Amino acid sequence: MKTLLQRTLGPLTAVTLALTVWLGIWVTPPDKVQGDLARMLYIHPALAWVALYVSFGTVVVASALYLWPRTRSLTVDRVAEAALEVSIVFIALTLITGSLWGRPAWGVWWVWDARLTSTAIMGVLELGIIALRRANLDPDIRARRSAVLALVSALNVIIIHFSVTWWQTLHQSASVLAPGGKLEVHGSMLWTMLLSFVAFTLLFSWLTRERYRLSVRRAGRTSDVLQAALAQRQAEGVPR
Amino acid sequence: MKYVIAGYSVTGVVLAGYALSLWWRSHRDVD
């Protein structure tokens, strides 16, 4: 029996996303400095939040659980696989929306800035993990190797997070919560931004759940095909 | 505003496309 959360996840995601778009484009005022361009900040930071912290955080936790013998299971490997694929989609969107903001704000589509470059490297690392998964057919070897690479790749998330303070970057430093805990965004702009974080986190949960179910169905189908092939071979071996 | 509309549109299209791809892959595997 489905729980209330399972039943409401899809509709809740759709409603919060629709509210974010409505508030972000039609309700919130234009920014004093950036004008309408600030409306991009109701999607770009939330996309990055999901890509790097929520999705890849899930990959890291699931990978660590797989490598720990007591918690090793195909379930946690499938969770890692699902969250990884969702993370790649969100990283791509983070880079695209950042570029669409950068063109009018900075005058360039792309710059080899520490934050941008390290985020792009994260996308390449995640594609590498996907490639590694496809190169290994043995489920255990595949899960172990991709889990190790995911944990190594997690170091890059730390680099991305601190890149704006470790290096002189074109990308601005923390702009919602400034160092010292002072809020830099207020009123409807703040609430819309917070709602966008909730909406995209819910969307991550929904997409990851659906991707996980796909892995389970595929595993079941592979098992059925294998059983059918074994039964056929056994039938061939029976003397007539 | 055109960059904002482009950003929201691309985000919507890519996310909807990914969700559809999950649905399609799921049904392709069943058939």
Class of residue A19 by CB neighbours under 10 A (exposed 0-12, middle 13-18, buried 19+):
middle
Higher local confidence (pLDDT), A209 or B30: A209
d(C-alpha A189, C-alpha A191), whole Å = 6
Could you please report the per-residue DSSP string of A57-102?
HHHHHHHHHHHSGGG--HHHHHHHHHHHHHHHHHHHHHHHHHHHHH
Reported as type and span, the H/E element at residue B25 is helix B2-30
pLDDT value of position A15: 94
Distance from CA of B26 to the nearest CA of A (A): 6
**Domain spans, chain A:** 13-235
Chain segment B6-28, per-residue pLDDT in tens:
999 999 999 999 999 998 988 87
d(C-alpha A79, C-alpha A187), whole Å = 37
Chain segment A30-85, per-residue pLDDT in tens:
888 888 888 999 999 999 999 999 999 999 999 999 999 899 999 999 999 999 99
Q: What is the pTM for the complete model shown? A: 0.86
pLDDT value of position B13: 95
CB distance from A190 to chain B under 8 Å? no
pLDDT value of position A237: 74
d(C-alpha B24, C-alpha A172), whole Å = 40
Contact B4 A40 (CB under 8 A): yes
| pLDDT beneath 70, residues of chain A | 1, 174-181, 183, 223, 238-240
Touching A: B residues 1-31, CB under 8 Å: 1, 3-4, 6-8, 10-11, 14-15, 18-19, 22-23, 25-26, 29-30
